[in-house]
Each structure stands twice: as structure tokens, then as C-alpha cells.
A and B are shown apart, each in its own frame.
Chain A
Amino acid sequence: MSPEANFHAESGFGPESSPSSRGRVWFDALTGGAGVISSGPRSVCVADVALGSETARFIAVVPDAQNRFPRARAGEVGLDEGWALARHVRATMAADSTDGKAARRPIIAIVDVSSQAYGRREELLGIHLACAAAADAYASARLAGHPVIALLVGKAMSGAFLAHGYQANRIIALDSAEVMVHAMGKQAAARVTRSSVEKMEKLGEQIAPMAYDIRSYDKLGLLHKLIVGVEADAPRGIDVDRVRAELVSAIADARAGAPDLACRLTSPAARKTRAASIEVRRRLAEQWRSPEQSQSPEQSDVRL
């Protein structure tokens, strides 16, 4: 066996067979291979292409069997991926910074991320900071007026989703069995809680936030739109057009709303399932000022 073949055997993938991913499929389908920015790691795909009447930046994290970090070869968000996401998002902000807020480019995060990279090198070199940098960049872009839309086409797992997608103004998702959101992969969660995958699935049926599937997630009120009836594995032209239209509509909705995440608490589903999140904020607002302060709210005007 040649050293190279051995290298690939160890990593679990053949030389040219980076496992095809939903993220890659949808990135290619939505960008048509145009406008690709080829800088940074190959695991982070970026393209500026037309969407509706403007240009949008599309970003996806995809598997790369030759990733220099072995623990980030299957589409995980690793050290290079986190920092590359931050860099590509901040480049968009810098390029549009002189434009009025209304003209700032939409940023579309195509989400299919199985997890953050689990490894010794990753911890030592600060994967928590790499993922924070990506979240920081997306949130900063949102606050600067860029409509940021997360399009869930596959897995949206845990820290990887926090880094790539969860800071979006609007989250939309394909209604497909392989589209999942969770704090920990099913097998890992079963091992950590000394339970079984079957028990985890059973629990998910009874307790909405414990479920993995996107229809259960939709009940939490965090999704702007669940797109039904789309062929998610091999999208046809009609599916791509449909998703583009939903992206355009989500961008318009984001521009019409506040640049914060408040919409995740106002949907009818959120009012029901996230009732405690709403109640906490309501009671907290009541208690925020002390009784004395409430009588003269301006007296606490202080500077550093």
C-alpha cells in the first residue's frame, strides 16, 4: 500500500471520495458553481452569486478527506473551519461597510454540520475560540445590517451549529428526515447519559426539545420556515427555485425586522413551547429596577 493510500485508509475515506454531503449538494445547486471564492481551507465553500435582485454570499462547511486536521475530515467545524468562517463573513462586512444598511449583502449559511471537531489538538489550540469567532462574525454581520439566513439542509449539531448558523436573523429548514438539530449526536448522547439510542428516541417523542428531527424542532418556535415537499438529496431545478424563493422571502423579512433574535420568542409555536423563556424575560423586566429606581429611572445615568 502506498503511503498516500495508507493515509486515506487511516482517515476512513478514499482519495477522491470525500463523502458527498447535503451541504455540498445544496451549495453547488444554489450557486451553480459560479462566484466561488477560493481562499482558505477547502472544507469551507464560499461563493458570491445572484439571489433575487442582489448578490448574496453563500457559505457551507463540507467534508474534506484531506483536511490537515484529521479530526475535521467529515464535515465537522474544526479550528481552520471556525476561523475561516469568521474571515469570510468579516470580509463581506468590510466590503459592504461603506454602503447603506439596506444595501448590505445577505449572507446565507448552508448548514450541514455533524459536530465540532473532537480532539486533543483542537482543545489545546482553542477550538472554543475558533467557534466563538465564527459566531461573533455572523452576529456582528447581523447587527451591521446584513440579513443572515441559516438554511438547514442536513445536520445542525451542537457547537458546530452555534458556530455556523445559530446567529442568523432567520433559520429556515428543509423538511427531510436527515435534517436534524440537537445538542449532541444521538450515539454520543446515549453513551454520555448511559442510555440507548432507542431510549433517546422514545424520550424525544415525549419531550420536544429532546427530539432530533426537524418537525419536532419546528414545534419549538425557533424556525422561520419549514420548507416541505423539496427533494433534499438530489434537488431538481424546481426544488432549487423553490428554496431560492424562500431565501429571498426570509431576507425581506429579516430586513423588515430588528437585527436581534427576538423573533425566536414571538412565533405561535414559541409562545407555547418556549413559554418559560418568555416568562423569565417578563418577570425579569419587572424586577430589573429596584423600587426606588423605578420612581426616577434616569437617576442611574452613569458613565464608566
Chain B
Amino acid sequence: MNADAASRAGYRRFLERRSFIEMSARERVRAVLDPGTFREMLGPFDRIKSPWLPLQGIVAQADDGVVLARGTLQAKPALIAAIEGAYQGGSMGEVSGAKIAGALELALDDCARGRLILPVLLFETGGVRLQEANLGLAAIAEIHAAIIALRRYVPVVGVIAGMVGCFGGMSLAAALCTHLIVTPQARLGMNGPEVIEQEAGIDELDATDRALIWSLIGGEQRHATGFADDLLDDDADAIAAAVRKAFSTAPASAPARSMQVERYVELLRNIDPNLPPDGESLRRLWKRGSPP
């Protein structure tokens, strides 16, 4: 095949590709599960809504912005929880948080009894919903607890596709996953750029400097520096395949990133905060898979 034909084939693939980012949370779950196996739990018709938003004059959505479904991945029982970034910025309130934590707890019960459930989390979240503050934070702690307990039995696979990204307490949930998949449109950070600028000043971080933000917390950067395992194009089929591959290849006994304490203590010891690296130089220092 000559270069021209190759580029035409690449362009055709690009056109045929289904964007994952443009899908709603519910469509994303369907795209990842084996065809025809999607069975939603606590869907919109169950009408379990936020009890706190209406008290503040905000209309509560009937699924509180989280889609939970059982189904299969390569014919094995699976659970997928997806956060809808278009509703309240994908924020975690009491109900949305309890849906994710409660589903992971049920998967844990099954796994502990020898019935393996493959858990997948599709993140798209700004973190705690400030209108439900302490109950959102408490639910996030329960999500962390469930991931850590579940991970002893089965890999927990996370996906951050974009465009909201994954922030706040939920960035810790992403970090706790056994395997994390990102796209170049994903951002993963604890504190949103606007919050850092407000709290620490514009000299610390100019939240309008998009190139700088992406060089710090963008999907490519996170993958290049070892904070994510797979970097994939915005392609629903590729993401669905990568989720399956993660379950078939992730060794259950390998320590999750958040357990690699000595490695990261050593990596940080070699960083001089007075001469901090920029995104580009950190890619050289913390190259994927390199020993400290």
C-alpha cells in the first residue's frame, strides 16, 4: 500500500470511528458491554433523586447523573458505573455517590463468595457536588473503600474519556483503579485549575492558559508519566476493546499504583521543588515503566 492509500485508509477509519466522548453516560455503558446484555439498575424510572437539590431551587434529575448497569464483557458478568458529565458537572451527591458505592459493595459481596464480577468505572466528574457537600464527600470515601476492598479479588478498570475530566475526590478513585484508560481529551487532577488560581493566585497557575493546563494534567501527559495505563483515541470500539484487554492481562497480584509507596517516595525525593520540572521534562524523568 503506498502512502497515499495508507492515509486514505486512516482517514476512512477516522470517519467510521464512533466518538465515545460525544456519547451520553448511558450510551457509553452500552458501547462497552457485550451487545444486548445491558440491564440498567436504578434507572430513571426508579426515580431515586437527590433530596437536597430541590431545597436549593435546583431541578433534580431522575437518575442523579449516574448510570449503573449489569451485563457481560466477553460473556463474563460485569458491572459498569458511568457518570454523566452533562448533569451538574458530573458531581457526586448523596444519591449518585451511593449508587456507585452501593453497586461496588454488591460486586464485592459476590466476589468474596467466589462469583467474580468485572467492575468498570467511567469517570466524568468535577468531584463533590457542593450543594450536598458533606454527604458527597462521605459517599466518595465509601467509593474509595469499596474500590480498595474489591481490588483484592478482581481488577477495577477506570476510563476517563473527557471532556469534563476527573477531579476532586474522584481523582483519588481513578488513582485507586488497577488499570486506568485515558484519551488525549481527558484531564486528571485533584484540584481544578480555576480553584488553584483562586486559592493560590494567578502566579501559581493561570487557569486560562490551556496549553499549560494540558501539559500538567492532560491525558497524554498522564500516560507519558505513568499515571495512566492506556492512552487511546476517542473511539468507542477501541475503548471497549481496551477494557476487555485490561481484565484479561492485569495480574490480580500486581500492586496497584497507589500501593507503590517506595517507588513514588524515591521519585519525589529526586524532585527539587525550587526547580520544579515542567510537563515535558517530567516525561523524561518519570518515563513510563522506568525504575526509579
Contact = CB atoms under 8 A, between A and B. Distances in A.
A162 B128 CA distance: 12
B140 A300 contact: no
B174 to A, nearest CB: 7
Contact of B105 (A193, A275, A281): A281
Shortest Cβ-Cβ A-B pairs, 4 listed: A132-B175, A128-B171, A166-B141, A280-B98
Interface stretch (B9-17, B24-32, B229-237, B264-272): B264-272
Q: Is the interface of B mostly helix, strand, loop or mixed?
A: helix
Contacts of B188: 128
Given A68-B273, A285-B102, 15 more contacts: A124-B277, A128-B172, A129-B264, A132-B258, A133-B261, A139-B145, A181-B134, A183-B133, A183-B168, A222-B138, A261-B141, A276-B48, A281-B102, A302-B77, A304-B154
B56 A280 contact: no
Nearest to B68: A284
Mostly, the A contact residues are helix
A86 interface: yes
B258 A260 contact: no
A47 to B, nearest CB: 20
Interface string B80-122: 0000000000000011011100110110001000111010000
Q: For chain A, which range describes its interface: under 10, 10 to 19, 20 to 34, or 35 or more residues?
A: 35 or more
Nearest to B128: A183
Interface of A: 68-71, 79-80, 83-84, 86-87, 90, 115-116, 118-133, 135-137, 139-140, 143, 158-159, 161-163, 166-167, 181-184, 188-189, 191-193, 203, 206-211, 217, 220, 222, 260-261, 264, 273-277, 279-281, 283-285, 287-288, 290, 300-304
B144 A287 contact: no
30 contacts: A86-B261, A126-B175, A131-B190, A132-B258, A136-B176, A136-B259, A140-B148, A158-B169, A159-B191, A162-B140, A162-B144, A167-B148, A182-B134, A183-B128, A183-B137, A183-B168, A209-B52, A209-B135, A210-B132, A261-B145, A276-B98, A279-B48, A280-B42, A280-B48, A284-B41, A287-B42, A290-B70, A302-B76, A304-B154, A304-B252
Contact of B227 (A126, A140, A277): A126
A83 to B, nearest CB: 5
A189 B77 CA distance: 41
Interface string B192-207: 0011101110001100
Contacts of A264: 138, 142
A217 B76 CA distance: 42
A119 B196 CA distance: 6
| B55, B135, B276 — most chain A CB neighbours (10 Å) | B135
A123 B176 contact: no
